[in-house]
A and B are shown apart, each in its own frame.
Chain A
Amino acid sequence: MGADHSKEQQFLTLLEKHKGILHKVARMYMDNAEDREDLHQEIIIQLWKSYDSFRSGSEFSTWMYRVAVNTAITSFKKEKSRTERFSSDEVTDVASEEYNQEKDHQLELFYKAVQGLNPVEKALIFYFMEGLSHKETGLNLGLSEVNVRVKLNRTKEKLQSIIKQQGYEF
Protein backbone atom coordinates (compact mmCIF):
# COMPACT_ATOMS: atom_id res chain seq x y z
CA MET A 1 0.00 0.00 0.00
CA GLY A 2 2.78 2.40 1.08
CA ALA A 3 4.91 1.40 -1.91
CA ASP A 4 1.96 2.00 -4.25
CA HIS A 5 1.37 5.44 -2.76
CA SER A 6 5.03 6.33 -3.09
CA LYS A 7 5.04 5.12 -6.71
CA GLU A 8 1.95 7.22 -7.44
CA GLN A 9 3.47 10.32 -5.82
CA GLN A 10 6.71 9.82 -7.72
CA PHE A 11 4.71 9.52 -10.96
CA LEU A 12 2.66 12.67 -10.27
CA THR A 13 5.78 14.66 -9.37
CA LEU A 14 7.51 13.63 -12.59
CA LEU A 15 4.36 14.43 -14.53
CA GLU A 16 4.12 17.90 -12.99
CA LYS A 17 7.75 18.52 -13.91
CA HIS A 18 7.23 17.47 -17.52
CA LYS A 19 3.69 18.71 -18.12
CA GLY A 20 4.99 20.95 -20.89
CA ILE A 21 5.19 17.79 -23.03
CA LEU A 22 1.48 17.15 -22.45
CA HIS A 23 0.62 20.72 -23.34
CA LYS A 24 2.66 20.73 -26.54
CA VAL A 25 1.59 17.30 -27.79
CA ALA A 26 -2.05 18.26 -27.27
CA ARG A 27 -1.53 21.59 -29.07
CA MET A 28 0.03 19.73 -32.00
CA TYR A 29 -2.68 17.08 -32.30
CA MET A 30 -5.93 18.81 -31.31
CA ASP A 31 -7.20 22.09 -32.63
CA ASN A 32 -9.71 23.01 -29.94
CA ALA A 33 -9.53 23.41 -26.18
CA GLU A 34 -12.07 20.70 -25.36
CA ASP A 35 -10.26 18.04 -27.40
CA ARG A 36 -6.92 19.15 -25.96
CA GLU A 37 -8.23 18.74 -22.42
CA ASP A 38 -9.50 15.26 -23.29
CA LEU A 39 -6.13 14.40 -24.77
CA HIS A 40 -4.27 15.61 -21.65
CA GLN A 41 -6.44 13.31 -19.58
CA GLU A 42 -6.04 10.42 -22.01
CA ILE A 43 -2.27 10.73 -22.09
CA ILE A 44 -2.07 10.87 -18.28
CA ILE A 45 -4.20 7.70 -18.07
CA GLN A 46 -2.01 5.87 -20.59
CA LEU A 47 1.16 7.11 -18.86
CA TRP A 48 -0.09 5.80 -15.54
CA LYS A 49 -1.19 2.48 -17.04
CA SER A 50 2.22 2.10 -18.71
CA TYR A 51 4.23 3.40 -15.77
CA ASP A 52 5.54 -0.08 -14.95
CA SER A 53 7.32 -0.07 -18.32
CA PHE A 54 9.32 3.00 -17.28
CA ARG A 55 12.76 2.05 -16.01
CA SER A 56 13.91 4.40 -13.29
CA GLY A 57 17.42 4.54 -14.76
CA SER A 58 16.22 6.10 -18.01
CA GLU A 59 14.97 9.60 -18.75
CA PHE A 60 11.32 10.13 -17.85
CA SER A 61 10.91 12.66 -20.65
CA THR A 62 12.13 10.16 -23.29
CA TRP A 63 9.63 7.57 -22.11
CA MET A 64 6.91 10.20 -21.82
CA TYR A 65 7.50 11.43 -25.40
CA ARG A 66 6.73 7.98 -26.74
CA VAL A 67 3.62 7.31 -24.70
CA ALA A 68 2.27 10.83 -25.30
CA VAL A 69 2.89 10.83 -29.06
CA ASN A 70 1.65 7.24 -29.51
CA THR A 71 -1.54 8.03 -27.59
CA ALA A 72 -2.11 11.25 -29.55
CA ILE A 73 -1.48 9.55 -32.91
CA THR A 74 -4.02 6.81 -32.18
CA SER A 75 -6.69 9.13 -30.75
CA PHE A 76 -8.86 9.74 -33.78
CA LYS A 77 -11.92 10.54 -31.69
CA LYS A 78 -13.64 13.80 -32.57
CA GLU A 79 -11.00 14.40 -35.20
CA LYS A 80 -12.61 15.82 -38.30
CA SER A 81 -11.20 15.12 -41.71
CA ARG A 82 -8.12 17.15 -42.48
CA THR A 83 -9.81 19.08 -45.29
CA GLU A 84 -12.80 19.86 -43.08
CA ARG A 85 -10.55 20.93 -40.23
CA PHE A 86 -8.14 22.91 -42.30
CA SER A 87 -10.20 24.85 -44.77
CA SER A 88 -8.67 27.86 -46.50
CA ASP A 89 -11.28 30.07 -44.78
CA GLU A 90 -9.94 28.97 -41.44
CA VAL A 91 -6.38 29.81 -42.49
CA THR A 92 -7.18 33.35 -43.54
CA ASP A 93 -9.23 33.89 -40.38
CA VAL A 94 -6.36 33.04 -38.05
CA ALA A 95 -5.14 36.60 -37.75
CA SER A 96 -8.61 37.93 -36.98
CA GLU A 97 -9.32 35.36 -34.23
CA GLU A 98 -9.87 36.62 -30.73
CA TYR A 99 -6.33 36.92 -29.54
CA ASN A 100 -5.09 36.50 -25.99
CA GLN A 101 -2.30 39.05 -25.53
CA GLU A 102 -0.45 36.71 -23.20
CA LYS A 103 -0.14 34.11 -25.90
CA ASP A 104 2.59 34.29 -28.44
CA HIS A 105 0.86 35.23 -31.68
CA GLN A 106 3.48 33.65 -33.90
CA LEU A 107 3.31 30.43 -31.95
CA GLU A 108 -0.48 30.47 -32.35
CA LEU A 109 -0.03 30.77 -36.11
CA PHE A 110 2.50 27.95 -36.02
CA TYR A 111 0.09 25.64 -34.17
CA LYS A 112 -2.69 26.50 -36.62
CA ALA A 113 -0.42 25.67 -39.54
CA VAL A 114 0.59 22.38 -37.89
CA GLN A 115 -3.06 21.27 -38.10
CA GLY A 116 -2.49 20.91 -41.85
CA LEU A 117 0.08 18.16 -41.28
CA ASN A 118 -0.63 14.44 -41.00
CA PRO A 119 -0.08 12.66 -37.61
CA VAL A 120 3.44 11.45 -38.47
CA GLU A 121 4.49 14.87 -39.77
CA LYS A 122 3.21 16.39 -36.53
CA ALA A 123 5.37 13.96 -34.54
CA LEU A 124 8.43 14.82 -36.65
CA ILE A 125 7.93 18.55 -36.10
CA PHE A 126 7.22 18.01 -32.40
CA TYR A 127 10.50 16.13 -31.86
CA PHE A 128 12.37 18.69 -33.94
CA MET A 129 10.97 21.55 -31.86
CA GLU A 130 11.84 19.68 -28.67
CA GLY A 131 15.43 19.59 -29.90
CA LEU A 132 15.79 15.83 -30.41
CA SER A 133 18.47 14.68 -32.83
CA HIS A 134 17.54 12.78 -35.99
CA LYS A 135 18.79 9.62 -34.32
CA GLU A 136 16.62 10.12 -31.21
CA THR A 137 13.59 10.99 -33.35
CA GLY A 138 14.21 7.87 -35.42
CA LEU A 139 14.36 5.71 -32.30
CA ASN A 140 11.08 7.16 -31.05
CA LEU A 141 9.28 6.80 -34.35
CA GLY A 142 10.84 3.54 -35.55
CA LEU A 143 12.55 5.18 -38.54
CA SER A 144 16.16 5.26 -39.69
CA GLU A 145 18.15 8.44 -39.16
CA VAL A 146 18.31 9.04 -42.93
CA ASN A 147 14.57 8.71 -43.28
CA VAL A 148 13.97 11.11 -40.43
CA ARG A 149 16.16 13.67 -42.19
CA VAL A 150 14.33 13.25 -45.50
CA LYS A 151 10.84 13.29 -43.99
CA LEU A 152 11.63 16.15 -41.63
CA ASN A 153 12.98 18.35 -44.43
CA ARG A 154 9.90 17.66 -46.48
CA THR A 155 7.64 18.38 -43.51
CA LYS A 156 9.41 21.65 -42.73
CA GLU A 157 8.93 22.75 -46.34
CA LYS A 158 5.26 21.82 -46.16
CA LEU A 159 4.84 23.75 -42.93
CA GLN A 160 6.60 26.81 -44.36
CA SER A 161 4.35 26.67 -47.38
CA ILE A 162 1.23 26.52 -45.18
CA ILE A 163 2.43 29.49 -43.14
CA LYS A 164 3.13 31.43 -46.34
CA GLN A 165 -0.41 30.63 -47.49
CA GLN A 166 -1.56 32.33 -44.32
CA GLY A 167 0.18 35.45 -45.57
CA TYR A 168 3.23 35.33 -43.29
CA GLU A 169 6.91 35.14 -44.12
CA PHE A 170 8.74 32.07 -42.92
Chain B
Amino acid sequence: MNFDDMKSRWDKEPSGDVKIPQQTALLGKAKHPVDQLKRNMRAELWTQTAAIIIMAFYPMMFHLDASLNNYYYLVYALFVVISGYYIIGFYRFYKQMHNYASDTRDSLLELYYELRLSMERYKSFGFLLLPFANIMIGLKFYSNQLQKGIPMDSFPDKTLYAMLLIVIAEVLLMMWALHTWVNRFYGKYARQIKSVSDELKEEI
Protein backbone atom coordinates (compact mmCIF):
# COMPACT_ATOMS: atom_id res chain seq x y z
CA MET B 1 0.00 0.00 0.00
CA ASN B 2 1.28 3.50 -0.82
CA PHE B 3 -0.23 6.95 -1.39
CA ASP B 4 -0.23 6.69 -5.20
CA ASP B 5 -2.06 3.38 -5.03
CA MET B 6 -4.46 4.82 -2.46
CA LYS B 7 -5.13 7.87 -4.63
CA SER B 8 -6.18 5.73 -7.58
CA ARG B 9 -8.52 3.72 -5.30
CA TRP B 10 -9.85 7.00 -3.88
CA ASP B 11 -10.64 8.32 -7.37
CA LYS B 12 -12.57 5.17 -8.23
CA GLU B 13 -14.58 5.07 -5.01
CA PRO B 14 -18.35 5.14 -5.60
CA SER B 15 -20.49 7.66 -3.74
CA GLY B 16 -23.81 5.83 -3.83
CA ASP B 17 -24.55 6.43 -0.13
CA VAL B 18 -25.11 10.17 -0.72
CA LYS B 19 -28.75 11.01 -1.30
CA ILE B 20 -29.33 14.32 -3.03
CA PRO B 21 -32.89 15.57 -2.40
CA GLN B 22 -35.21 16.39 -5.31
CA GLN B 23 -35.96 19.78 -3.75
CA THR B 24 -34.17 21.90 -1.18
CA ALA B 25 -37.48 22.12 0.74
CA LEU B 26 -36.98 18.44 1.60
CA LEU B 27 -33.82 19.24 3.53
CA GLY B 28 -34.30 18.88 7.27
CA LYS B 29 -33.48 21.41 9.93
CA ALA B 30 -29.78 22.25 10.27
CA LYS B 31 -28.23 20.44 13.25
CA HIS B 32 -24.88 22.15 13.04
CA PRO B 33 -23.77 23.46 16.49
CA VAL B 34 -23.86 27.07 15.23
CA ASP B 35 -27.45 26.65 14.00
CA GLN B 36 -28.44 25.01 17.29
CA LEU B 37 -26.88 27.87 19.25
CA LYS B 38 -28.76 30.34 17.09
CA ARG B 39 -32.03 28.51 17.64
CA ASN B 40 -31.44 28.59 21.42
CA MET B 41 -30.67 32.27 21.10
CA ARG B 42 -33.93 32.90 19.25
CA ALA B 43 -35.87 31.15 22.02
CA GLU B 44 -34.06 33.26 24.61
CA LEU B 45 -34.79 36.44 22.67
CA TRP B 46 -38.51 35.71 22.85
CA THR B 47 -38.27 34.94 26.57
CA GLN B 48 -36.32 38.14 27.24
CA THR B 49 -38.76 40.23 25.23
CA ALA B 50 -41.72 38.68 27.06
CA ALA B 51 -39.99 39.34 30.41
CA ILE B 52 -39.47 43.02 29.51
CA ILE B 53 -43.15 43.39 28.61
CA ILE B 54 -44.29 41.63 31.79
CA MET B 55 -41.98 43.86 33.88
CA ALA B 56 -44.03 46.87 32.73
CA PHE B 57 -46.87 45.53 34.92
CA TYR B 58 -44.68 44.94 37.97
CA PRO B 59 -46.22 47.81 40.04
CA MET B 60 -49.72 46.42 39.40
CA MET B 61 -48.76 42.78 39.94
CA PHE B 62 -46.92 43.44 43.19
CA HIS B 63 -49.16 46.28 44.43
CA LEU B 64 -46.37 48.81 44.62
CA ASP B 65 -47.22 51.94 46.57
CA ALA B 66 -48.51 54.54 44.07
CA SER B 67 -45.95 57.12 45.28
CA LEU B 68 -43.16 54.86 43.97
CA ASN B 69 -44.55 54.36 40.46
CA ASN B 70 -42.59 57.22 38.94
CA TYR B 71 -39.33 55.91 40.43
CA TYR B 72 -40.15 52.43 39.17
CA TYR B 73 -40.85 53.57 35.60
CA LEU B 74 -37.71 55.70 35.55
CA VAL B 75 -35.70 52.56 36.39
CA TYR B 76 -37.82 50.52 33.99
CA ALA B 77 -37.12 52.94 31.11
CA LEU B 78 -33.37 52.50 31.65
CA PHE B 79 -33.90 48.73 31.86
CA VAL B 80 -35.77 48.76 28.52
CA VAL B 81 -33.08 50.85 26.78
CA ILE B 82 -30.23 48.63 28.00
CA SER B 83 -32.12 45.39 27.28
CA GLY B 84 -33.07 46.68 23.83
CA TYR B 85 -29.44 47.39 23.01
CA TYR B 86 -28.40 43.86 23.97
CA ILE B 87 -31.37 42.15 22.38
CA ILE B 88 -30.65 43.90 19.07
CA GLY B 89 -27.03 42.68 19.35
CA PHE B 90 -28.18 39.08 19.91
CA TYR B 91 -30.68 39.38 17.07
CA ARG B 92 -27.93 40.56 14.70
CA PHE B 93 -25.79 37.56 15.62
CA TYR B 94 -28.80 35.30 15.12
CA LYS B 95 -29.52 36.73 11.66
CA GLN B 96 -25.89 36.85 10.61
CA MET B 97 -24.94 34.15 8.15
CA HIS B 98 -21.72 32.39 8.98
CA ASN B 99 -19.39 32.40 6.00
CA TYR B 100 -18.44 28.78 5.30
CA ALA B 101 -17.08 29.69 1.89
CA SER B 102 -14.06 31.62 3.13
CA ASP B 103 -10.79 29.82 3.84
CA THR B 104 -10.87 27.50 6.85
CA ARG B 105 -8.65 29.64 9.06
CA ASP B 106 -10.71 32.80 8.48
CA SER B 107 -13.95 30.87 8.85
CA LEU B 108 -12.86 29.38 12.19
CA LEU B 109 -11.51 32.67 13.56
CA GLU B 110 -14.65 34.54 12.54
CA LEU B 111 -16.80 31.92 14.22
CA TYR B 112 -14.63 31.86 17.34
CA TYR B 113 -14.70 35.64 17.82
CA GLU B 114 -18.44 35.80 17.12
CA LEU B 115 -18.98 33.18 19.81
CA ARG B 116 -16.68 34.91 22.29
CA LEU B 117 -18.42 38.21 21.60
CA SER B 118 -21.81 36.63 22.23
CA MET B 119 -20.57 35.02 25.45
CA GLU B 120 -19.23 38.33 26.75
CA ARG B 121 -22.41 40.09 25.63
CA TYR B 122 -24.50 37.59 27.59
CA LYS B 123 -22.39 38.04 30.70
CA SER B 124 -22.36 41.83 30.59
CA PHE B 125 -26.11 41.88 29.91
CA GLY B 126 -26.71 39.68 32.94
CA PHE B 127 -24.38 41.73 35.15
CA LEU B 128 -26.06 44.96 34.04
CA LEU B 129 -29.48 43.60 34.92
CA LEU B 130 -28.46 42.76 38.49
CA PRO B 131 -28.64 46.34 39.85
CA PHE B 132 -32.05 46.76 38.20
CA ALA B 133 -33.32 43.56 39.76
CA ASN B 134 -32.08 44.72 43.18
CA ILE B 135 -33.63 48.16 42.77
CA MET B 136 -36.96 46.62 41.80
CA ILE B 137 -36.90 44.25 44.77
CA GLY B 138 -35.80 47.15 46.98
CA LEU B 139 -38.71 49.28 45.77
CA LYS B 140 -41.14 46.49 46.62
CA PHE B 141 -39.62 46.19 50.08
CA TYR B 142 -39.78 49.96 50.59
CA SER B 143 -43.36 49.97 49.34
CA ASN B 144 -44.31 47.35 51.95
CA GLN B 145 -42.74 49.47 54.68
CA LEU B 146 -44.57 52.57 53.45
CA GLN B 147 -47.87 50.72 53.37
CA LYS B 148 -47.26 49.53 56.95
CA GLY B 149 -46.31 53.09 57.96
CA ILE B 150 -42.76 52.08 58.97
CA PRO B 151 -40.10 54.64 57.91
CA MET B 152 -36.90 53.18 56.41
CA ASP B 153 -34.66 55.03 58.87
CA SER B 154 -36.30 53.13 61.73
CA PHE B 155 -34.38 49.94 60.81
CA PRO B 156 -31.66 48.97 63.23
CA ASP B 157 -28.12 48.98 61.80
CA LYS B 158 -27.93 45.20 62.25
CA THR B 159 -30.86 44.66 59.86
CA LEU B 160 -29.40 47.05 57.28
CA TYR B 161 -26.02 45.28 57.40
CA ALA B 162 -27.76 41.92 57.05
CA MET B 163 -29.66 43.23 54.00
CA LEU B 164 -26.43 44.51 52.49
CA LEU B 165 -24.77 41.13 53.00
CA ILE B 166 -27.73 39.36 51.42
CA VAL B 167 -27.55 41.63 48.37
CA ILE B 168 -23.78 41.07 48.01
CA ALA B 169 -24.21 37.30 48.34
CA GLU B 170 -27.06 37.32 45.83
CA VAL B 171 -25.00 39.36 43.33
CA LEU B 172 -22.01 37.03 43.69
CA LEU B 173 -24.21 33.96 43.32
CA MET B 174 -25.89 35.38 40.23
CA MET B 175 -22.50 36.30 38.69
CA TRP B 176 -21.22 32.78 39.29
CA ALA B 177 -24.44 31.24 37.88
CA LEU B 178 -24.30 33.44 34.79
CA HIS B 179 -20.64 32.68 34.17
CA THR B 180 -21.26 28.92 34.57
CA TRP B 181 -24.37 28.98 32.39
CA VAL B 182 -22.67 30.87 29.53
CA ASN B 183 -19.60 28.65 29.65
CA ARG B 184 -21.74 25.54 29.71
CA PHE B 185 -23.74 26.50 26.62
CA TYR B 186 -21.09 28.29 24.57
CA GLY B 187 -17.72 27.64 26.21
CA LYS B 188 -17.15 24.05 25.12
CA TYR B 189 -17.86 24.78 21.48
CA ALA B 190 -15.75 27.96 21.51
CA ARG B 191 -12.83 25.99 23.00
CA GLN B 192 -13.17 23.29 20.34
CA ILE B 193 -13.15 25.91 17.57
CA LYS B 194 -10.12 27.62 19.12
CA SER B 195 -8.26 24.34 19.39
CA VAL B 196 -8.81 23.59 15.67
CA SER B 197 -7.85 27.12 14.60
CA ASP B 198 -4.64 26.80 16.66
CA GLU B 199 -3.74 23.79 14.52
CA LEU B 200 -3.72 26.16 11.55
CA LYS B 201 -1.12 28.49 12.99
CA GLU B 202 1.83 29.10 10.70
CA GLU B 203 4.90 27.24 11.90
CA ILE B 204 7.63 28.83 9.81
A-B residue pair count with CB separations less than 8 angstroms: 157
Q: Could you tell me if B7 and A120 are in contact, using CB atoms closer than 8 angstroms?
A: no
Determine the chain B residues whose CB is within 8 A of the CB of A48 once the complex forms: 24, 27
Q: Which B residues, 46 to 79, have Cβ-Cβ distances below 8 Å to chain A?
A: none
The reply to whether B199 and A107 contact each other, CB–CB distance below 8 Å, is: no
Asked if A45 contacts B101 (CB within 8 A), the reply is no
Is A12 in contact with chain B by the CB < 8 A criterion?
yes
Contact A74 B199 (CB under 8 A): no
In the assembly, what is the distance between CA of A69 and CA of B3, in Å?
21
Whether A24 contacts B204 in the complex (CB less than 8 A), given A8-B23, A42-B32, comes out as no
Q: Is A146 an interface residue (CB 8 A)?
A: yes
Is B21 in the interface zone, CB < 8 Å from A? yes
Would you call A143 and B101 a contact (CB within 8 A)? no
Would A12 and B108 be within 8 Å (CB), given that A24-B10, A46-B32, A110-B6 are in contact? Answer: no
State whether the Cβ of A49 lies closer than 8 Å to any Cβ in chain B.
yes
**A37 → B minimal CB distance (Å):** 8
C-beta contact mask, B135-150 vs A, less than 8 Å → 1, else 0?
Answer: 0000000000000000
Q: A44-B21, A142-B200 given as contacts; is B189 within 8 A of A76 (CB)?
A: yes
Least CB separation from A119: chain B residue: B196
For window 98-137 of chain A, which residues contact chain B by CB distance below 8 Å? 104, 106-107, 109-110, 118-121, 123, 128-129, 131
Looking at the complex, which one of A75, A140, A144 makes contact with B202 (CB distance below 8 Å)? A144
Check B105 for interface membership: any CB of A closer than 8 A. Answer: yes
- The count of residues in chain A whose C-beta lies closer than 8 Å to any C-beta of chain B is 65
- If A11-B24, A22-B18 touch, whether A142 touches B104 (CB-CB below 8 Å) is yes
In angstroms, how far is the closest chain B Cβ from the Cβ of A1? 13
Most buried by B among A36, A129, A140: A129
Do B99 and A50 touch (CB < 8 A)? yes
Measured CA separation A42–B31 after assembly (Å): 7
- Interface residue tally on B, bucketed by range: 35 or more
Which residues of the other chain, A, contact B20 by a CB distance below 8 angstroms?
A: 12, 15-16, 19, 44
Q: Does B1 contact A (CB under 8 A)?
A: yes
Knowing A75-B32, A141-B103, say if A23 contacts B13 (CB, 8 Å): yes
- Complexed CA–CA distance, A156 and B4 (Å): 12
Q: Which residue of B lies closest to A16 (CB)?
A: B20
A67 partner, pick from B1, B5, B101, beta carbons under 8 A: B101
Write the B14-39 contact mask toward A (1 if CB under 8 angstroms, else 0).
01011111111001101111100000
- Chain B residues with Cβ below 8 Å from A75 are 32-33
Whether B40 sits at the interface, judged by CB under 8 Å, is no
The 7 closest A-B pairs by CB, nearest first: A142-B105, A23-B15, A142-B103, A120-B199, A20-B15, A19-B18, A70-B100
